[in-house]
Amino acid sequence: MSARDPIADLKRIAFLLERANEASYRVRAFRSAAKALAALPTTEVASRAAAGTLTDLNGVGDVTARCVTESLAGEEPVYLRRLLATEGVDLDEAATALRTALRGDCHTHSDWSDGGSPIEEMALAAVELGHEYVVLTDHSPRLTVARGLTADRLRKQLDYVAAVNDALPEGFRILTGIEVDILADGTLDQEEELLARLDVVVASVHSGLRDDSARMTKRMLTAIANPHVDILGHCTGRMVANRPAGVTGPGDRAHRRGGKTRPPSDFDADAVFAACAEHDTAVEINSRPERQDPPKRLLRRAMEAGCRFAINTDAHAPGQLDWQRFGCERAALCGVPADRVINSWPAERVVEWAQGHA
C-alpha cells in the first residue's frame, strides 16, 4: 500500500491550478486523469505505474502519469509541491503586498528607442506612482525595428540622463541601463566597456526565437553566465492573445504586430533557472498583458530553483508604468515573496547588487 492516494493528489493539483487561474485545458488534464484512474482497480493502477503503461489509458498523459508514479512511491508529486506554496494564501492580499513592496521598475523604454515618450516624462510618471527609481533600458543596436541605440547614442544618453537626474525631485533617480539583445551565439549586442558602465543590464532574446531547444538553451546559458547581465528579460518571448482592450499605443511593438500570438521559445527551463540561481541573475516577471512572461508553470520552477526576480513593466509609455500590478498578481499566484524580488530594494542596493556581477 502506498502512503499517498494518487487520485487525491491529481484532484488537489487540479484545484490549485484552477485557483491560480491556469488555462482550463491544463486543469482538465488532471481531472481527466483522476477520472480514468478512479475507474480502475487500485492494483491495476499500481501495476501499470510499475510497467510504465499508465499513458496507454485514455486521459492519462506523461505529466499526469509522472505525478501518479511519484505519489505511489509515497512522494509528494513535484507538480503538486510547486503549487502548494500558495495554498491557503489570500492571493489578492499577496499581490497587493508585493506591489506595495516595489520601489522601482527595472525595465522601461523611452523615445530614444521604440518608446513613445521622452525620458523626463517617463521619470515624472514614475515619481507620481511613488517609485524611487526607474532603470532606463532602451534597446541595443541590432534591434533596428526598435531603433536600438548605437554605442555612440547610448553614450549620449548617459550624459543626458545625468542632466535629467539633476533636475528631478530629491529621492528619485533614473538608473542607467539597457535591454541588450542576446545574439545568436549568446554574446551581447553592445560594447563591453559600455555594459560595464551601466547600472543595470537586462538581456533579452528578440531574434531566432524558434531556435531548437539545445541551441536556445546554450544561447541563454552563455548570456546568463556573462558577468554584465543582471536580469534575464521576458525569457520565453511568447505573445498571448487575451490582452485587455486599450493596452496598446503608438510606439508599441506588440501593437504593430497586430495582436498576433507567438508560442514560447523552446529551452531547458531547469538548466536556465539553475544557471540564473548560480550566477544570481534575476528572472524577469514581465508585466505586459500581451507577454505575461514567464508563464506561471515556469515561474514556479524558477521559484523552486531559488532564483531572484524583477517584476518589471517593460513600459513603452508613461501609463504603462502602472502595469506592475499584473506582474505582482502572477508572482503572487506562484508564491513569489517580496524578499526574492530585487526591485523591492532601494536603488543603492540594486546598483550594488548589479555591480557585484560585473
For Zn ion, the closer CB: 179 or 290: 179
Contact 134, 108 (CB under 8 A): yes
108 lies in the site for Zn ion, by CB under 5 A: no
Least distance between Zn ion and beta carbon 353 (Å): 20
313 lies in the site for Zn ion, by CB under 5 A: no
DSSP per residue over 151-201, as a string?
HHHHHHHHHHHHHHHHHSPTT-EEEEEEEEEB-TTS-BSS-HHHHHHSSEE
Site stretch for Zn ion (CB under 5 A), options 95-103, 128-136, 219-227, 307-315: 307-315
Sequence-distant (≥ 6) Cβ neighbours of residue 356 within 8 angstroms = 280
Site stretch for Zn ion (CB under 5 A), options 50-58, 164-172, 202-210, 267-275: 202-210
Least distance between Zn ion and beta carbon 57 (Å): 42
Choose among 105, 340, 102: nearest CA to 200.
105
Choose among 119, 99, 95, 124: nearest CA to 108.
119
C-alpha cell at position 326: 499584473
314 lies in the site for Zn ion, by CB under 5 A: yes
For Zn ion, the closer CB: 288 or 340: 288
List binders of Zn ion among 161-180 (CB under 5 A).
179
The H or E element spanning position 32 is: helix 24-38
284 lies in the site for Zn ion, by CB under 5 A: no
204 lies in the site for Zn ion, by CB under 5 A: yes
Give me the helix-helix angle, 151-167 and 119-128, nearest 10°: 40
Q: Per-residue x/- marks for Zn ion, 179-198, CB under 5 A?
A: x-------------------
Q: Which residues bind Zn ion (CB under 5 A)?
A: 179, 204, 314
